[in-house]
Amino acid sequence: MFDDPAREAWQKPAEIIAAMRVSPGMTVADVGAGTGYFEPYLSRAVGPGGVVFAVDVEPDMVRYLRERASQEKLDNVRPLLADADDPKLAAHGVDRVLLVDTWHHIPGRDAYLPKLRAALKQGGTITFVEFTLDSPQGPPREHRITPEVLAAEVRQAGLSAERVEITLPYQYVVVARP
Protein backbone atom coordinates (compact mmCIF):
# COMPACT_ATOMS: atom_id res chain seq x y z
CA MET A 1 0.00 0.00 0.00
CA PHE A 2 2.77 2.48 0.96
CA ASP A 3 4.62 1.90 -2.32
CA ASP A 4 1.66 1.32 -4.63
CA PRO A 5 2.66 2.62 -8.10
CA ALA A 6 -0.74 4.39 -8.31
CA ARG A 7 0.29 6.54 -5.34
CA GLU A 8 2.33 8.87 -7.52
CA ALA A 9 -0.81 10.06 -9.32
CA TRP A 10 -2.57 11.21 -6.14
CA GLN A 11 0.40 11.85 -3.82
CA LYS A 12 2.28 14.00 -6.36
CA PRO A 13 5.69 13.82 -4.65
CA ALA A 14 7.33 16.16 -7.19
CA GLU A 15 4.78 18.89 -6.37
CA ILE A 16 5.26 18.41 -2.64
CA ILE A 17 9.05 18.65 -2.95
CA ALA A 18 8.67 21.75 -5.14
CA ALA A 19 6.40 23.32 -2.48
CA MET A 20 9.08 22.53 0.12
CA ARG A 21 11.66 24.38 -1.99
CA VAL A 22 14.24 21.61 -1.59
CA SER A 23 17.50 22.30 -3.38
CA PRO A 24 20.83 20.52 -3.89
CA GLY A 25 23.04 20.34 -0.81
CA MET A 26 20.20 20.62 1.71
CA THR A 27 19.59 18.34 4.67
CA VAL A 28 16.01 17.06 4.80
CA ALA A 29 14.26 14.92 7.41
CA ASP A 30 11.31 12.74 6.39
CA VAL A 31 9.64 12.14 9.76
CA GLY A 32 7.42 9.08 9.67
CA ALA A 33 9.23 7.81 6.59
CA GLY A 34 7.61 4.37 6.72
CA THR A 35 8.83 2.27 3.80
CA GLY A 36 10.65 5.25 2.29
CA TYR A 37 8.24 6.25 -0.46
CA PHE A 38 9.60 9.81 -0.53
CA GLU A 39 13.27 8.90 -0.14
CA PRO A 40 14.15 8.45 -3.85
CA TYR A 41 12.50 11.79 -4.65
CA LEU A 42 14.16 13.60 -1.75
CA SER A 43 17.52 11.93 -2.46
CA ARG A 44 17.50 13.25 -6.03
CA ALA A 45 16.34 16.70 -4.91
CA VAL A 46 19.18 17.21 -2.39
CA GLY A 47 21.74 15.56 -4.68
CA PRO A 48 25.04 13.95 -3.72
CA GLY A 49 26.00 16.92 -1.52
CA GLY A 50 22.81 16.70 0.55
CA VAL A 51 21.47 14.33 3.18
CA VAL A 52 18.04 12.79 3.75
CA PHE A 53 17.21 11.51 7.23
CA ALA A 54 14.53 8.83 6.92
CA VAL A 55 13.04 8.95 10.42
CA ASP A 56 10.71 6.32 11.85
CA VAL A 57 9.77 4.91 15.26
CA GLU A 58 9.50 1.27 14.13
CA PRO A 59 12.81 -0.62 14.21
CA ASP A 60 11.63 -2.92 11.39
CA MET A 61 10.86 0.09 9.20
CA VAL A 62 14.29 1.60 9.90
CA ARG A 63 15.91 -1.71 8.99
CA TYR A 64 13.83 -1.83 5.79
CA LEU A 65 14.77 1.80 5.00
CA ARG A 66 18.46 0.92 5.38
CA GLU A 67 18.08 -2.06 3.03
CA ARG A 68 16.08 -0.04 0.52
CA ALA A 69 18.61 2.81 0.50
CA SER A 70 21.41 0.32 -0.09
CA GLN A 71 19.54 -1.60 -2.80
CA GLU A 72 18.45 1.57 -4.63
CA LYS A 73 21.88 3.17 -4.16
CA LEU A 74 20.46 6.14 -2.27
CA ASP A 75 23.82 6.91 -0.72
CA ASN A 76 22.68 10.17 0.87
CA VAL A 77 19.77 8.57 2.78
CA ARG A 78 20.39 8.00 6.51
CA PRO A 79 17.72 5.93 8.28
CA LEU A 80 17.17 7.10 11.84
CA LEU A 81 15.27 5.39 14.66
CA ALA A 82 13.26 7.95 16.64
CA ASP A 83 11.12 7.79 19.74
CA ALA A 84 7.37 8.44 19.65
CA ASP A 85 7.98 11.68 21.54
CA ASP A 86 11.30 12.71 19.95
CA PRO A 87 12.40 12.76 16.30
CA LYS A 88 16.07 12.49 17.42
CA LEU A 89 17.21 15.22 15.05
CA ALA A 90 20.25 17.31 15.94
CA ALA A 91 19.65 20.92 16.91
CA HIS A 92 19.93 23.24 13.89
CA GLY A 93 20.68 20.19 11.73
CA VAL A 94 18.07 20.24 8.95
CA ASP A 95 16.88 22.67 6.30
CA ARG A 96 13.54 20.99 5.70
CA VAL A 97 11.29 18.61 7.64
CA LEU A 98 8.56 16.63 5.88
CA LEU A 99 5.70 14.82 7.61
CA VAL A 100 3.37 12.99 5.21
CA ASP A 101 0.29 11.38 6.76
CA THR A 102 2.17 11.33 10.08
CA TRP A 103 1.15 14.31 12.21
CA HIS A 104 -2.17 12.76 13.29
CA HIS A 105 -0.25 9.72 14.64
CA ILE A 106 1.99 11.69 17.00
CA PRO A 107 0.91 11.76 20.64
CA GLY A 108 1.77 14.95 22.51
CA ARG A 109 2.10 17.05 19.38
CA ASP A 110 2.37 20.20 21.47
CA ALA A 111 5.63 18.87 22.97
CA TYR A 112 6.85 17.33 19.70
CA LEU A 113 6.63 20.46 17.57
CA PRO A 114 9.24 22.42 19.57
CA LYS A 115 11.67 19.52 18.97
CA LEU A 116 11.08 19.80 15.22
CA ARG A 117 11.53 23.56 15.43
CA ALA A 118 14.82 23.14 17.34
CA ALA A 119 16.11 20.89 14.54
CA LEU A 120 15.69 23.59 11.89
CA LYS A 121 18.61 25.52 10.50
CA GLN A 122 18.15 29.24 9.88
CA GLY A 123 15.50 29.61 7.17
CA GLY A 124 14.27 26.05 7.69
CA THR A 125 10.66 24.91 7.25
CA ILE A 126 8.38 22.08 8.31
CA THR A 127 5.93 20.76 5.71
CA PHE A 128 2.86 18.82 6.81
CA VAL A 129 0.80 16.76 4.37
CA GLU A 130 -2.43 15.35 5.81
CA PHE A 131 -5.64 13.85 4.46
CA THR A 132 -8.70 16.09 4.14
CA LEU A 133 -11.78 15.18 6.16
CA ASP A 134 -13.70 14.15 3.04
CA SER A 135 -10.96 12.09 1.38
CA PRO A 136 -11.95 8.55 0.35
CA GLN A 137 -8.41 7.47 1.33
CA GLY A 138 -6.48 7.77 4.55
CA PRO A 139 -7.10 7.06 8.22
CA PRO A 140 -10.55 6.91 9.78
CA ARG A 141 -12.21 10.33 9.76
CA GLU A 142 -12.01 10.69 13.55
CA HIS A 143 -8.18 10.52 13.35
CA ARG A 144 -7.84 13.26 10.75
CA ILE A 145 -6.84 16.83 11.49
CA THR A 146 -8.29 19.81 9.70
CA PRO A 147 -5.88 22.36 8.24
CA GLU A 148 -7.25 24.93 10.70
CA VAL A 149 -6.44 22.74 13.72
CA LEU A 150 -2.99 21.91 12.36
CA ALA A 151 -2.27 25.61 11.72
CA ALA A 152 -3.43 26.48 15.25
CA GLU A 153 -1.07 23.85 16.72
CA VAL A 154 1.79 25.26 14.66
CA ARG A 155 1.05 28.84 15.77
CA GLN A 156 0.82 27.75 19.41
CA ALA A 157 4.43 26.52 19.06
CA GLY A 158 5.51 29.97 17.90
CA LEU A 159 5.69 29.20 14.19
CA SER A 160 3.83 30.72 11.29
CA ALA A 161 1.55 28.47 9.27
CA GLU A 162 0.74 28.82 5.60
CA ARG A 163 -1.54 26.58 3.63
CA VAL A 164 0.05 25.85 0.27
CA GLU A 165 -2.31 25.34 -2.64
CA ILE A 166 -1.20 22.40 -4.74
CA THR A 167 -3.40 19.98 -6.64
CA LEU A 168 -3.50 17.02 -4.28
CA PRO A 169 -6.89 15.32 -4.63
CA TYR A 170 -7.03 13.83 -1.11
CA GLN A 171 -4.69 15.92 1.01
CA TYR A 172 -3.71 19.42 2.02
CA VAL A 173 -0.29 20.97 2.70
CA VAL A 174 0.70 23.35 5.50
CA VAL A 175 4.20 24.85 5.71
CA ALA A 176 5.46 26.09 9.08
CA ARG A 177 8.28 28.60 9.59
CA PRO A 178 9.91 30.07 12.70
Nearest to 102 by CA among 7, 12, 38, 161: 38
CATH number of the domain that 25 lies in? 3.40.50.150
What is the model's pLDDT at position 138?
Answer: 85
Asked whether residue 37 is assigned to any structural domain, the reply reads yes
pLDDT by 10-residue block (mean), the chain, 178 residues: 59 89 98 94 97 97 96 97 96 97 91 96 97 90 94 95 90 95
Asked whether residue 68 is assigned to any structural domain, the reply reads yes
Asked whether residue 67 is assigned to any structural domain, the reply reads yes
What is the model's pLDDT at position 135?
Answer: 92
Asked whether residue 123 is assigned to any structural domain, the reply reads yes
Asked whether residue 170 is assigned to any structural domain, the reply reads yes
Asked whether residue 135 is assigned to any structural domain, the reply reads yes
What is the model's pLDDT at position 165?
Answer: 86
Distances (CA, A) of 47 to 36, 50, 52: 17, 5, 10
What is the model's pLDDT at position 2?
Answer: 54
SS (H, E, C) the chain: CCCCCCHHHHHCHHHHHHHHCCCCCCEEEEECCCCCCCHHHHHHHHCCCCEEEEEECCHHHHHHHHHHHHHCCCCCEEEEECECCECCCCCCCEEEEEEECCHHHCCCHHHHHHHHHHHEEEEEEEEEEEECCCCCCCCCHHHCCCHHHHHHHHHHCCCEEEEECCCCCCEEEEEEEC
What is the model's pLDDT at position 16?
Answer: 94
Asked whether residue 11 is assigned to any structural domain, the reply reads yes
What is the model's pLDDT at position 9?
Answer: 62
- For the chain, the domain total comes to 1
- Whether 39 and 74 have beta carbons less than 8 Å apart is answered as yes
Nearest to 163 by CA among 132, 141, 140, 136: 132
SS (H, E, C) 80-96: EECECCECCCCCCCEEE
Q: Which domain holds residue 44?
A: 7-177
Distances (CA, A) of 128 to 39, 75, 106: 16, 25, 12
